[in-house]
Structure 1
């Protein structure tokens, strides 16, 4: 026999059907009870966003079904959807995602029917580590260092100018400085890296090291009568005067760059000697040496004259 079921009658599985037969004389058979077998696959489970920071995989599936999560390395994790259909599956602490990996999720009901596979891509939400920055000096023409491979490295100059470059597959980056951007030393550069998913690292702040020597100081005329050595040098720099006998005297250039260094009263010049003058800035950079000859401006003593007589 074949009996069509109404189109609006659907079975989930587990229900019971009762079947009897009655002959033409009206005699009815015993009742046959049969269980409906569940052969319907669960719907594909939903999966909440999975990120590189996630510690769990969550979503919904058929209530009571076993949800299986297959990780990119083939590891399989399982959990059971509750009576509301919600599931939560913890990720092992040693399983970390970078972003871009695929996770496969299925659910299998109590009758062994398996859903279609849900494939979800792990979203990268992990910021790169702050980039390293090689020493930046007042003489450099490039900023270099390391960052996450493929990340975009941004260098913000003290005046707000932003320069960018991309870290290569080894993580190395080199960013050229514009020729019109010069550092004195003491300025700060801010460096960040942003990965292809838009995650931005913490900011690395680096101080520019002054490695530029001051220009050689100027020295006013020094004469055999001078009580001081004076001139101009880089403001704040320490000026050193080396006398012909090796004695060293120092002074500091004021904020206008002027310096005056007193000569000891016991140091006298005849004229023709050489004095060496240098300046050293606060970072220890030393200028070229300025050499100046002492000018003889001391008149001779009056000559002695032997007696002159009318007979001389």
Structure 2
């Protein structure tokens, strides 16, 4: 387990903690870990939590590490268990990452309220902070006291490439899916601060299935590769609710039509395995002209909303080849235009200017358009389809 010592900055009193990989501090402190630099994989920030990952696979998380009290912040120090050498994880506020620099004594951290990096020795490890985290590569110097040359520092940087920021393809009832660098670990931070992870496959595709986000929630995504973290990106608001099933209102020799969620997509699957696509208008109406169904053979319809959620499949029924009865017009005055016809059929009123107005005949065989679309003193035509 990880040997840890926590020293409160305001009192200098230490508290030894061994074997706990999730710690919480409630005031600025010095966190000293007995760990060699070459054993560290990464040091990163997740909210107010400091996360240290070792190449052995162990992870230490310290809640409250980034809380600043009266201008005083916490510090992380690594002590080499073999040589006793101290390295402090130098970081800035706001967080941009860390670099490891030599430290003569922990006492210097307790004697002042805020440690300045100026005046310290040149960094032992030439590590650039990238995307909120940095991978730690051990320094292989030629001797015990001299430190490394600039070429040594450059060697330590080799291979530390910032991974691509993950992208989101879907955030719906089927899961949270996106693209990233192949083999990257994708971390999703949820609204409650908890974190779930997955790994991108060799094509860069990653997914959480089922979707860990509830309907209307959103989280933050970040990719990590070889200990280096990408920039963070929002997941977008999750839509995990399936749309209502589409309704077929017309299925005759001329048209297949109905209603569904505005802005969604209708997919009509035919008996031969082919499909026909239609877009639902802002008024919730959709239609496919001419009717793609083969007479006597039904198909199926699925509606897919903008988030990619799909409804249950609905049978179209077979084409109704029976000519509907002509509609009647019982009222045509200032109160409206109304009449009767075959239930479920569509009444089409063609106006003198060539435009049309439609309505559906209700289950009792009645239809009505209010206000009357026909201008006073003029006439139009009424048909039913």
Interval containing the TM-score (normalised by the shorter chain): 0.3 to 0.5
Give TM-score, length-normalised by structure 1.
Answer: 0.34
Rg bigger for which structure? 1
Give TM-score, length-normalised by structure 2.
Answer: 0.29
Query: Which structure: greater helix fraction?
Result: 2
* Structure with higher RCO (Cα < 8 A, 6+ apart): 1
Query: Which structure: greater strand fraction?
Result: 2
